[in-house]
Each structure stands twice: as structure tokens, then as C-alpha cells.
């Protein structure tokens, strides 16, 4: 299997697509909660907040902040799509900046329709329309008419290296599939980074570094004896730590996806879709 990204970019979702596992483990497994059986309350997410403000006109500033955060998180799929449409790196940078400035400043919230799909789908349609209009204009004003949403250098400095896609992927996939692939890897990497930061805040970065590469391994692929010797821990303790880390990782992945859907019933379907996107990109 030729992977299109660094292993860290695909280790979660692609594991869902292994042979004889038609359903995603991140859909079917428990979400980091033992027992109970009662449905978990679906808290207000960034996307549901945006739709609520667009519909009812309340808490608009909070909704704008939520939209800005989503844009910062998902700038790379936008950039990847624009590049795949044949634009140079410099022009793609400018257009990505222009696009975000447009949706953040032109009352985009008022046009966000809850019936038009998830944030990922709506953003892609908006981008396609934006590029049609951009093709009809000159590029006299660069990067949002001289006002940057965030400096490109800052974006690149903050971007995890695992998200970079090899040139052959850009050439082999249609822009729409490349957009979805970049989106899926962004979800995975963001959850992975959150897990790392949580471990580091608890003084357990060493444990994350030792166990994170095994987050989606099958049971027979993990040598607990070897990990036990390396960490100086009993095998039972290693198993417990890896189990807890997997549960938390699964929870973070689901939380990340939930930020981009309005209906809690859409979370599982979105995860399956992203699984399929990563499988396409790793064929």
C-alpha cells in the first residue's frame, strides 16, 4: 500500500477501512464512555452555532469567531483544491486568502443554509463559485484587497508537516477528491495533535511518543512485551495506558468531526465518508 501522506496523517481513519472491516471502528466503538447506555448530549458545536446565528440572528459575534476558527483549521483543503485547479503556488495562496476574507467579511453567515449540507460540503460549493467569479476578475488586489486574514507565513509555520501531500497525489486525483482527502487528513492530524498536547500537559509526552504509533494497530500487531521492556512498565499497565489513549483519541476524532456538522446523526456518516476519502487517497 502506497500511502499518500505521512503515517500520522492516516493512522486513524484508514485503519477503519481494513479488509473484513466494512464498518468504521470509530463509528461503532464506544466514544470513550463506559456503561450508562444513555445518549450523550450533543453540545453546541461551531457549525451549529454558525447556522443558529444565520437563522435567528443571535450571538453573531460568537458565530463569526467560530467561523474564523473553522477557517483557520481547514485552510489546507482550500489551498489544495485551488492548486489542483491549475493555479500556481503564489496565486493559490492569494486566492485562499481572498476566499476566507470574502466569507468572513461579506455576511456569509446570513447565507449559510442548514439544508445545504455539512460545513465541508457548503465550503466546497462556496469555493467553486468563488473561483468562477475570481476567474472573471483581474488580480490587481492581492490577498483580500491588502488585508490578510492571517499571514501566509504564520499558516505555514503552524501547519503540521504530516499533512503535506506528494506531487503524484495532486496529479492523480480530481480537485474535489483532493479537497476531501486534505480535509480528512486535517481532521486526523488535528485530533492527533490535541492528544499529544493533552499528554504533554499531564507530563506524559514520553508515553504519547512511545504509544501513539500503535493507536490503530490490531491486537496481534502490538508487542506488549517489547513496549513493557522499553518503558519499564508491567505489560498490564502498558495495555491499560494504550487502551485509554485509544479511547481518548477516538473521542477527539469524533469531537473534531462534530464541529463541522449541525445534526448529531450526521457524525457517523461524515466519519464514514472521510474514511472512504482516505482509502481513495491511499490506493
What is the pLDDT, as a whole number, of residue 137? Answer: 64
Helix or strand holding residue 263 (H, E):
none
d(CA 167, CA 25) in angstroms, rounded, equals 30
Say how far apart CA 117 and CA 115 lie, in whole Å: 6
Mean pLDDT over 57-82 rounds to 86
75-84 helix and 60-73 helix, angle to the nearest 10 degrees: 60
Task: Provide the pLDDT for residue 283.
Answer: 61
Is pLDDT above 70 for 24? no
At 5, the pLDDT band (50, 70, 90 cuts) reads very low
Check: CB of residue 96 under 8 Å from CB of residue 79: yes
Crossing angle of helices 235-258 and 224-231, in 10° steps, is 100
Higher pLDDT, 147 or 32: 147
pLDDT of 202: 95
Is the entire prediction scored with pTM above 0.85?
A: no
Greater pLDDT, 30 or 172: 172
Average pLDDT over residues 225-252: 93
- 138 and 98 in contact (C-beta within 8 Å)? no
pLDDT greater than 60 at residue 139: no
pLDDT over 80 at 212, yes or no: yes
CA 213 – CA 222 distance, rounded (Å): 10
Rounded-to-integer distance, Cα 194 and Cα 146, Å: 33
Mean pLDDT of 270-275: 90
Q: Which residue has the higher pLDDT, 93 or 163?
A: 93
Q: What is the mean pLDDT of residues 142-148?
A: 49
Please spell the DSSP secondary structure of 89-153, one letter per residue. HHHHHHHHHHHHHHHHHTTGGGG--GGG--HHHHHHHHHHHHHHHHHTS---S-TTTT--SS-HH
pLDDT class of 66 with cuts at 50, 70, 90 = confident
**Burial level of 53, CB count in 10 A (0-12/13-18/19+)?**
buried
CA distance 10 to 184: 8
Q: How confident is the model at residue 30 (pLDDT cuts 50, 70, 90)?
A: very low
pLDDT value of residue 77: 92
| pLDDT on residue 9 | 40
10 three-class SS = helix
Report the pLDDT value the prediction gives residue 237, as an integer from 0 to 100. Answer: 95
Average pLDDT over residues 160-186: 76
Residue 52 has pLDDT above 90, yes or no: no
Are the C-beta atoms of 74 and 149 separated by less than 8 Å? no
Average pLDDT, the chain: 76
Amino acid at each position: 500500500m502506497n500511502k499518500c501522506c505521512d503515517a500520522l496523517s492516516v493512522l486513524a481513519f484508514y485503519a477503519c477501512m481494513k479488509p473484513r472491516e466494512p464498518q468504521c471502528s470509530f463509528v461503532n466503538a464506544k466514544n470513550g464512555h463506559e456503561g450508562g447506555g444513555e445518549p450523550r448530549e450533543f453540545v453546541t458545536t461551531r457549525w451549529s452555532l454558525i447556522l443558529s446565528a444565520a437563522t435567528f440572528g443571535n450571538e453573531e459575534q460568537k458565530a463569526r469567531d467560530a467561523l474564523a476558527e473553522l477557517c483557520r483549521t481547514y485552510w489546507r483543503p482550500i489551498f489544495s483544491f485551488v492548486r489542483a485547479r491549475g493555479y500556481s503556488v503564489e496565486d493559490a495562496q492569494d486566492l485562499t486568502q481572498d476566499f476566507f476574507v470574502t466569507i468572513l467579511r461579506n455576511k456569509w453567515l446570513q447565507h449559510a443554509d442548514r439544508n445545504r449540507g455539512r460545513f465541508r460540503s457548503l465550503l466546497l460549493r462556496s469555493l467553486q463559485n468563488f473561483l468562477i467569479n475570481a476567474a472573471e476578475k483581474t488580480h490587481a488586489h492581492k490577498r483580500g484587497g491588502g488585508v490578510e486574514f492571517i499571514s501566509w507565513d504564520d499558516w505555514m509555520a503552524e501547519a503540521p508537516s504530516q499533512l503535506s501531500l506528494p506531487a503524484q497525489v495532486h496529479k492523480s486525483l480530481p480537485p474535489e477528491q483532493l479537497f476531501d482527502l486534505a480535509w480528512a487528513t486535517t481532521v486526523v492530524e488535528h485530533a492527533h495533535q490535541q492528544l499529544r498536547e493533552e499528554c504533554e500537559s499531564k507530563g506524559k509526552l514520553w508515553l504519547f511518543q512511545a504509544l501513539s504509533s500503535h493507536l490503530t494497530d490490531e491486537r496481534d500487531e502490538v508487542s506488549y512485551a517489547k513496549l513493557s521492556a522499553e518503558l519499564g512498565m508491567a505489560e498490564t499497565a502498558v495495555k491499560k495506558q494504550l487502551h485509554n489513549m485509544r479511547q481518548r483519541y477516538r473521542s477527539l476524532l469524533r469531537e473534531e468531526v462534530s464541529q463541522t456538522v449541525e445534526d448529531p446523526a450526521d457524525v457517523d456518516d461524515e466519519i464514514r465518508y472521510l474514511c472512504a476519502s482516505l482509502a481513495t487517497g491511499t490506493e
